[in-house]
Structure formats: C-alpha cells, structure tokens
Amino acid sequence: MSFELNPETIAGENGKTLGTLAGDYEHLGKQLARRGVDIEGITERAMAFRVAVPSWGVGTGGTRFARFPGPGEPRNIFEKLEDCDVINKLTRSTPGISLHIPWDKPEDAGALKSFAADRGLFIDSMNSNTFQDQAGQKHSYKFGSLVHTEAAVRDQAVEHNVECIELGVKLGARSHTVWVGDGGNFPGQFHTRRTLDRYLDSMRKIYKALPDHFRVFIEHKLYEPAFYSTVINDWGVSYYCVKELGDKAFSLVDLGHHAPNVNIEMIVARLIQFGKLAGFHFNDSKYGDDDLDTGSIKPFQLFLIFNELVDAEIEKVKGFDPAYMLDQSHNVTDPIESLMTSAVECVRAYAQAHIVDRAALSEYQEKNDAMMALSTLKRAFTTDVDPILAMARHRAGGAIDPVGLYRASGYRGSAAVKRPASGRGGSGIV
C-alpha cells in the first residue's frame, strides 16, 4: 500500500490536477451559459446523484464456463464493504449497498449495520435467492421456487423471502428485490396460466410480510436460467403483478433482461406514467444478460433512459422515487475500477439529461420537427461533462481521477496480501 485512502491523501492527489480542472470547468461553464444552462446547477445535481453498489459485484464474476478470481478477493461481507468503502470514498456517489441473501447473511445484523455506518455506508435493497439450492436445504428449487408445483417448495421460498425482509428491517434497508429464475426449458413443461397464479399466490404471502415503510421490487427477465418460458419474462407481466399486489410493489428494470433492441427507455416512461417504476439494475450488454459495465456498450441508450428519468424528475411526476442500483459481473477487470467507472457513467448520463433544452424539445415535438427534436437530445448527449463530474467529486471530497488514484494507492496489492487467495475458481457469477 503506497498510501491510505483518506480525505488528506485524496485532496493531496487532487491538488496536482485541480488547476487544469478549474480551467476546463470555467470553459465549459461559458459554453453552457451561452446555451442558457447554469453549470453550477448541473454540478449540484451531479453531487446529489446516488447509485447503489451490489455486494456481489466487488468479487470477480464468472460465467457458467469459468470464473478467474483476481488478487485480494473479498472473502466475506465485511471485506466486501471495505471495497465498497473505497468506491464511495473516490466517487462520492455510492453510499448505498445492495445485499444478496444468503451470500451476505451476517451472524450479527447489528454489527454489520454499524460496520457499514462507520464507513458512511448503508444497506439499500435486499435480494433473495431461490435460484440456487443451499447446503442442507429441505426442498430443491430445480423445478422452480415461488411457482413450484409442490406447495412445500413454494412455502420454503416464501419463508426465505420473509426472512430476507426481516433481516432487511434490522439492517435499515428500504426495499426487497425478488428476482426468480423460475421457468421451463421446453414447451409443455409448465402450464403458463397456472404457473403465474402460483407465482402471485406466493408473492401475496411475501407482500403481507412487508412493514409499512418497505417496498418490494419485482425484477423481470426474458430468459436464463430457463431457456424456453420464464414466469416473469417482461415488464408487462411484472406490471400486472405489482398492480395486483398493492401500493408497496413496483417493477424493477434490469437493463440486461430484455430481448436485443427492445426500447427500454419506452418501458421506463411507461412505468413512470403508471406510477410503478421501482428503479434499476444498471449494466450493459451486447447480446444477452451479459452484466457488463454500465455505459460500456450502449451509452446513448443509457442517456435516453436518464432523459426519461430527468424529464419526470423535473416535472415532479407523482410517486416518482426510483432506486438506482448497479448489477454487474466483473469477469476481466478489477471490480472496484468497474464499479467506480460505472457509477461515473450513471452520473454522466444524469448530468447530460439535465442539460437537455426541454423547452425547445417540446416545441419541436409539438411542431413535429423530428430533426431538431433529435438534435436537441444529441446536443446534450455529445456535451463533454467530464469537468462537471470531476468537480462534483472533488467538491464532495472524492477523487478527480478515481481509477488513477485507486491504482496509485496500491489498495489492491495490499488487499492481496491481507486476503490470501482461496484458489476457488469454479464457475458462476460469484
């Protein structure tokens, strides 16, 4: 470790490039002022933006073929929070952590909650897991969990979700996310209508366990691990279910859970309009649920999604309170670098969406001037807001160059010394 990551060392390193940043910031400020945009307003928005980090994303991820662990892999939830602490120290956008149970099940919930709080972190959303069988588990989820044909298996899955919610309450979480891989590999394997009835029946039991301040998020996914029919396969069935369940149920959009070329920003606008947008699992993909770094493949799509979100934010749409979370798998990069960069890409799309000249846009829309409407959006998307993002991080006590400072700190090297390799390669996302 060449140096501890703390406010002094971060400010020290920032000092080396602050002059250049101030010049770029001032220049951008003049450009934006000519467009009637106050740069300080955008910087404040960028400083206020928050996106949660997935605890399961700080370890090296893998595929069904293999997982190639990197040096200094976190071995338990406390080491995962240490890594989340670094991400938040340098980006100042990620104090919220999503947990996955039982992967992160603590012996002592209180100890975990204060370990996080001591680092300025909090537990955001809980995630249940009925897509794997745990050692000693009575009933297998091979043929499903919440939709299984046997009531005993469904009850076991419901019980697990209720335990997650109860643990979430102890940890100060605010929501519970239910993604099930339940579905079939062949036509005829499942009766489609009865399967959904069983799903809703199980979800109603889970919904009953929600305390007043808690929300439940249903996450749809087109396919995988089921390769023919997935019970909650798209936003339509998710929306139907959250409407059926009640006011505390919302539909969560994982960007990788759609067929190629689906217009996700339209799904977002629909769920906003219907008052049922839970929030997001941000990531990116080229083909399937690749869980790649946010903004790494389709940055314009990410911008168009934030354009819908910011439009609703500015219009103060009723019930608009989305939870922003990353959900990625880092198979070939340092997970800390990928999560920092992905958080920055979310802030970038958010800041660019706040630069959109919305008065001009709606005028072009009213006049059906498609060309000018598109170029009004593209002008914001092609604005290099890097000086705003860096200034926002600097003013919040973070790093002007998060990845550069992280590498200079030698954090990964010292983690590799402290955390001897488990040698457990194996396969799978974690």
Pick from 25, 179, 199, 217: which binds ligand LRH (CB under 6 A)?
179
Q: Where in 303-342 is the site for ligand LRH (CB under 6 A)?
A: 327
Query: Is the distance from CB of 125 to CB of 217 less than 8 angstroms?
Result: yes
Nearest distance from residue 141's CB to ligand LRH, in Å?
Answer: 13
Q: Does 289 bind ligand LRH (CB under 6 A)?
A: yes
Residue nearest to ligand LRH (CB): 179
Best CA proximity match to 291, nearest among 254, 265, 260:
254
The site partner of 258 among ligand LRH, Mn ion, none (C-beta below 5 to 8 Å per kind) is none
Q: How far is CA 180 from CA 146, 225, 262, 374, in A?
A: 8, 9, 21, 38
* Residue 332 vs 371, nearer CB to ligand LRH: 332
83 binds, among ligand LRH, Mn ion, none (CB under 5 to 8 A by kind): none
Strands 229-230 and 183-184: antiparallel
Count the residues in the chain: 430
Q: Which residues share a beta bridge with 253? A: 280
Subset of residues 47 to 66 that bind ligand LRH, contact rule: CB under 6 A:
56
Q: Residue for token digits 């994303």?
A: 57
58 vs 390, beta carbon nearer ligand LRH: 58
Contact call for residue 127 and ligand LRH (CB under 6 A)? yes
293 scored as a contact of ligand LRH (CB under 6 A): no
Number of residues that bind ligand LRH (CB under 6 A): 10
Residue 121 contacts residue 81 (beta carbons within 8 Å): yes
Of the candidates 418, 390, 396, 421, the residue with the CA atom closest to the CA atom of residue 82: 418
CA dist 171 → 51, 113, 134, 167, 394 (Å): 18, 5, 22, 6, 30
Q: Given the rule CB under 5 A, which residues bind Mn ion?
A: 254, 281, 327
Task: Give the nearer residue to ligand LRH in terms of CB position, either 13 or 327.
Answer: 327
Under rule CB under 6 A, residue 104 binds ligand LRH: no
Q: Are 347 and 392 in contact (CB under 8 A)?
A: yes
Task: Bin 144: left if φ > 0, else alpha if -120 < ψ < 50, else beta.
Answer: left
**Closer residue to ligand LRH (CB): 42 or 326:** 326
Our finding on whether 235 is near ligand LRH (CB under 6 A) is no
Of residues 221 and 394, the one with the C-beta less far from ligand LRH = 221
Residue 127's binding partner among ligand LRH, Mn ion, none (Cβ under 5 to 8 angstroms by kind) is ligand LRH
**How many CB atoms within 10 Å of residue 378?**
13
Q: Please, which residue, 254 or 284, has the CB nearer to ligand LRH?
A: 254
Q: Are 302 and 326 in contact (CB under 8 A)?
A: no
- Which residues of this protein are in contact with ligand LRH, per CB under 6 A? 56, 127, 179, 219, 221, 254, 281, 289, 327, 429
